[in-house]
Amino acid sequence: DTAVSQTPKYLVTQMGNDKSIKCEQNLGHDTMYWYKQDSKKFLKIMFSYNNKELIINETVPNRFSPKSPDKAHLNLHINSLELGDSAVYFCASSELPRGTDTQYFGPGTRLTVL
Amino acid sequence: AQTVTQSQPEMSVQEAETVTLSCTYDTSESNYYLFWYKQPPSRQMILVIRQEAYKQQNATENRFSVNFQKAAKSFSLKISDSQLGDTAMYFCALRVTGANSKLTFGKGITLSVRP
Protein backbone atom coordinates (compact mmCIF):
# COMPACT_ATOMS: atom_id res chain seq x y z
CA ASP A 1 0.00 0.00 0.00
CA THR A 2 1.33 3.42 -0.96
CA ALA A 3 1.66 5.63 2.12
CA VAL A 4 1.42 9.02 0.38
CA SER A 5 0.00 9.04 -3.12
CA GLN A 6 -0.43 11.83 -5.64
CA THR A 7 -2.37 12.06 -8.87
CA PRO A 8 -1.50 12.66 -11.56
CA LYS A 9 2.21 11.84 -11.73
CA TYR A 10 2.62 13.92 -14.88
CA LEU A 11 0.61 16.92 -15.98
CA VAL A 12 1.17 18.82 -19.22
CA THR A 13 -1.02 21.82 -19.86
CA GLN A 14 -1.23 25.17 -21.61
CA MET A 15 -0.60 28.55 -20.07
CA GLY A 16 -3.73 30.09 -18.61
CA ASN A 17 -5.41 26.79 -17.75
CA ASP A 18 -6.57 25.74 -14.29
CA LYS A 19 -5.43 22.40 -12.91
CA SER A 20 -5.54 20.38 -9.70
CA ILE A 21 -3.21 17.88 -8.09
CA LYS A 22 -4.59 15.46 -5.53
CA CYS A 23 -2.82 13.97 -2.54
CA GLU A 24 -3.90 11.24 -0.15
CA GLN A 25 -2.11 9.64 2.79
CA ASN A 26 -3.09 6.43 4.55
CA LEU A 27 -0.66 6.80 7.44
CA GLY A 28 -3.21 8.29 9.81
CA HIS A 29 -1.16 11.50 10.00
CA ASP A 30 -2.68 14.79 11.08
CA THR A 31 -0.39 17.09 9.09
CA MET A 32 0.07 17.41 5.34
CA TYR A 33 2.32 19.62 3.18
CA TRP A 34 2.88 20.83 -0.34
CA TYR A 35 6.41 21.45 -1.60
CA LYS A 36 7.66 22.79 -4.91
CA GLN A 37 10.91 21.50 -6.44
CA ASP A 38 12.19 23.84 -9.14
CA SER A 39 14.33 23.08 -12.17
CA LYS A 40 17.48 23.37 -10.03
CA LYS A 41 16.06 20.72 -7.67
CA PHE A 42 15.58 23.21 -4.84
CA LEU A 43 12.77 22.15 -2.50
CA LYS A 44 10.65 24.76 -0.79
CA ILE A 45 7.54 24.43 1.31
CA MET A 46 4.38 26.07 0.03
CA PHE A 47 1.63 25.11 2.47
CA SER A 48 0.95 22.98 5.49
CA TYR A 49 -2.32 21.80 6.99
CA ASN A 50 -2.90 20.28 10.40
CA ASN A 51 -6.22 18.53 10.83
CA LYS A 52 -7.70 20.46 7.91
CA GLU A 53 -6.48 23.80 9.25
CA LEU A 54 -3.94 25.88 7.31
CA ILE A 55 -0.85 26.39 9.51
CA ILE A 56 1.90 27.34 7.07
CA ASN A 57 1.33 29.59 4.08
CA GLU A 58 4.54 30.67 2.44
CA THR A 59 4.85 33.51 -0.03
CA VAL A 60 3.02 31.78 -2.83
CA PRO A 61 0.93 33.52 -5.52
CA ASN A 62 -2.75 33.41 -4.65
CA ARG A 63 -3.32 31.49 -7.88
CA PHE A 64 -2.33 28.49 -5.74
CA SER A 65 -5.07 27.34 -3.41
CA PRO A 66 -4.78 24.28 -1.21
CA LYS A 67 -7.88 22.47 -0.04
CA SER A 68 -8.13 19.84 2.65
CA PRO A 69 -11.51 18.07 2.65
CA ASP A 70 -10.36 15.81 5.48
CA LYS A 71 -7.09 15.14 7.24
CA ALA A 72 -6.14 12.34 4.83
CA HIS A 73 -6.39 14.53 1.75
CA LEU A 74 -4.73 17.73 0.65
CA ASN A 75 -5.33 18.95 -2.88
CA LEU A 76 -3.60 21.77 -4.72
CA HIS A 77 -5.51 23.85 -7.23
CA ILE A 78 -3.65 26.23 -9.53
CA ASN A 79 -5.43 28.92 -11.51
CA SER A 80 -4.19 30.69 -14.63
CA LEU A 81 -1.08 28.58 -14.98
CA GLU A 82 2.15 30.33 -15.97
CA LEU A 83 5.37 29.04 -17.50
CA GLY A 84 7.15 29.57 -14.19
CA ASP A 85 4.81 27.13 -12.47
CA SER A 86 6.54 24.27 -14.26
CA ALA A 87 8.11 22.18 -11.50
CA VAL A 88 7.72 19.00 -9.52
CA TYR A 89 5.18 19.30 -6.72
CA PHE A 90 5.51 17.02 -3.72
CA CYS A 91 2.93 16.24 -1.12
CA ALA A 92 4.13 15.04 2.29
CA SER A 93 2.64 14.10 5.63
CA SER A 94 3.73 13.77 9.24
CA GLU A 95 2.01 12.72 12.42
CA LEU A 96 2.37 16.11 14.05
CA PRO A 97 3.40 19.58 12.88
CA ARG A 98 6.34 19.63 15.26
CA GLY A 99 10.04 19.46 14.60
CA THR A 100 10.43 15.94 15.89
CA ASP A 101 8.27 14.49 13.23
CA THR A 102 9.60 12.87 10.11
CA GLN A 103 7.84 13.86 6.92
CA TYR A 104 6.97 11.19 4.39
CA PHE A 105 6.79 12.26 0.78
CA GLY A 106 4.60 11.27 -2.13
CA PRO A 107 6.06 10.38 -5.54
CA GLY A 108 5.74 13.91 -6.89
CA THR A 109 3.77 15.41 -9.77
CA ARG A 110 5.76 16.83 -12.67
CA LEU A 111 3.86 19.83 -13.99
CA THR A 112 4.84 21.20 -17.39
CA VAL A 113 3.24 24.41 -18.58
CA LEU A 114 3.58 25.10 -22.31
CA ALA B 1 15.55 31.93 10.13
CA GLN B 2 17.23 28.63 9.35
CA THR B 3 19.67 27.94 6.54
CA VAL B 4 21.16 24.71 5.24
CA THR B 5 24.23 24.69 3.02
CA GLN B 6 25.47 21.88 0.85
CA SER B 7 28.48 23.29 -0.92
CA GLN B 8 29.44 20.26 -3.04
CA PRO B 9 27.14 20.04 -6.08
CA GLU B 10 28.23 16.54 -7.01
CA MET B 11 30.43 13.64 -5.98
CA SER B 12 31.44 10.30 -7.38
CA VAL B 13 32.51 7.12 -5.60
CA GLN B 14 33.57 3.66 -6.62
CA GLU B 15 31.22 0.83 -5.73
CA ALA B 16 32.02 -0.74 -2.33
CA GLU B 17 33.95 2.32 -1.16
CA THR B 18 33.01 4.93 1.42
CA VAL B 19 31.90 8.47 0.70
CA THR B 20 31.05 11.43 2.93
CA LEU B 21 28.57 14.13 1.98
CA SER B 22 28.91 17.49 3.74
CA CYS B 23 26.24 19.72 5.19
CA THR B 24 26.38 22.79 7.39
CA TYR B 25 23.47 24.66 8.85
CA ASP B 26 22.63 27.73 10.83
CA THR B 27 19.94 28.30 13.40
CA SER B 28 19.63 30.29 16.59
CA GLU B 29 17.46 27.59 18.13
CA SER B 30 18.94 25.09 20.55
CA ASN B 31 16.47 22.29 19.84
CA TYR B 32 16.14 21.00 16.33
CA TYR B 33 16.23 17.95 14.12
CA LEU B 34 18.38 17.16 11.14
CA PHE B 35 17.58 14.84 8.27
CA TRP B 36 19.13 13.38 5.17
CA TYR B 37 16.76 12.56 2.33
CA LYS B 38 17.63 10.66 -0.82
CA GLN B 39 16.04 11.34 -4.21
CA PRO B 40 16.91 8.68 -6.80
CA PRO B 41 16.12 9.13 -10.49
CA SER B 42 12.63 7.81 -9.75
CA ARG B 43 12.05 11.19 -8.07
CA GLN B 44 10.73 9.70 -4.81
CA MET B 45 12.00 11.48 -1.68
CA ILE B 46 13.18 8.84 0.79
CA LEU B 47 14.26 9.46 4.38
CA VAL B 48 17.77 8.12 4.92
CA ILE B 49 18.56 9.10 8.49
CA ARG B 50 17.50 11.47 11.26
CA GLN B 51 19.38 13.08 14.14
CA GLU B 52 18.01 14.83 17.20
CA ALA B 53 20.22 17.77 18.17
CA TYR B 54 19.96 17.00 21.87
CA LYS B 55 21.53 13.58 21.34
CA GLN B 56 25.31 13.44 21.36
CA GLN B 57 25.42 9.99 19.83
CA ASN B 58 25.60 9.98 16.05
CA ALA B 59 22.68 8.27 14.30
CA THR B 60 23.31 5.17 12.20
CA GLU B 61 21.10 3.20 9.83
CA ASN B 62 22.85 0.16 8.39
CA ARG B 63 25.44 1.50 5.91
CA PHE B 64 24.50 5.12 6.60
CA SER B 65 25.85 7.12 9.51
CA VAL B 66 26.20 10.77 10.37
CA ASN B 67 28.92 12.88 11.92
CA PHE B 68 27.02 15.48 13.92
CA GLN B 69 29.16 18.33 15.22
CA LYS B 70 26.77 20.63 17.04
CA ALA B 71 29.28 23.35 17.92
CA ALA B 72 30.45 23.53 14.32
CA LYS B 73 26.86 23.20 13.01
CA SER B 74 27.95 20.42 10.74
CA PHE B 75 25.98 17.30 9.79
CA SER B 76 27.75 15.05 7.30
CA LEU B 77 26.47 11.74 5.93
CA LYS B 78 28.79 8.78 5.53
CA ILE B 79 27.82 5.99 3.17
CA SER B 80 29.83 2.81 3.64
CA ASP B 81 30.15 0.01 1.10
CA SER B 82 28.55 2.17 -1.60
CA GLN B 83 26.12 0.39 -3.89
CA LEU B 84 24.89 1.28 -7.36
CA GLY B 85 21.45 1.88 -5.87
CA ASP B 86 22.89 4.70 -3.78
CA THR B 87 23.15 6.82 -6.93
CA ALA B 88 20.82 9.71 -6.20
CA MET B 89 20.53 13.29 -5.13
CA TYR B 90 20.95 13.73 -1.37
CA PHE B 91 19.34 16.56 0.56
CA CYS B 92 20.23 17.72 4.03
CA ALA B 93 17.33 19.29 5.94
CA LEU B 94 16.70 21.03 9.25
CA ARG B 95 13.58 21.53 11.30
CA VAL B 96 13.46 23.36 14.61
CA THR B 97 11.38 22.17 17.51
CA GLY B 98 8.11 23.92 18.00
CA ALA B 99 4.71 23.87 16.48
CA ASN B 100 4.28 24.64 12.83
CA SER B 101 7.98 24.83 12.06
CA LYS B 102 9.18 24.41 8.49
CA LEU B 103 11.53 21.81 7.07
CA THR B 104 14.37 23.74 5.42
CA PHE B 105 16.33 21.94 2.72
CA GLY B 106 19.82 22.41 1.32
CA LYS B 107 20.36 22.57 -2.43
CA GLY B 108 21.28 18.89 -2.60
CA ILE B 109 24.27 16.95 -3.84
CA THR B 110 24.29 14.51 -6.74
CA LEU B 111 26.07 11.28 -5.86
CA SER B 112 27.12 8.87 -8.58
CA VAL B 113 28.30 5.37 -7.69
CA ARG B 114 30.61 3.92 -10.35
CA PRO B 115 30.62 0.15 -11.04
pLDDT at residue A99 greater than cutoff 60: no
Shortest distance between the Cα of A98 and any Cα of chain B, in A, equals 5
The per-residue DSSP string of B55-92 comes to --SPPEETTEEEEEETTTTEEEEEE-S--GGG-EEEEE
Round to the nearest angstrom and report the end-to-end CA distance of chain A. 34
pLDDT digits (tens, 9 = 90+) for A61-96: 999 999 999 989 999 999 999 999 999 999 999 987
CB contact under 8 A, B101 and A99: yes
User: Using CA atoms, how far apart are residues B110 and B22, in angstroms rounded to an integer?
Assistant: 12
pLDDT digits (tens, 9 = 90+) for B6-37: 999 999 999 999 999 999 999 998 889 999 99
Probe site for chain A from B102, B104, B109 (most A CB atoms < 10 A): B102
Shortest distance between the Cα of A56 and any Cα of chain B, in A, equals 7
Specify whether the CB–CB gap between A27 and A4 falls below 8 A. Answer: yes
How many percent of chain A have pLDDT more than 70?
95
User: Under DSSP, is residue A83 helix (H, G, I), strand (E, B) or coil?
Assistant: helix
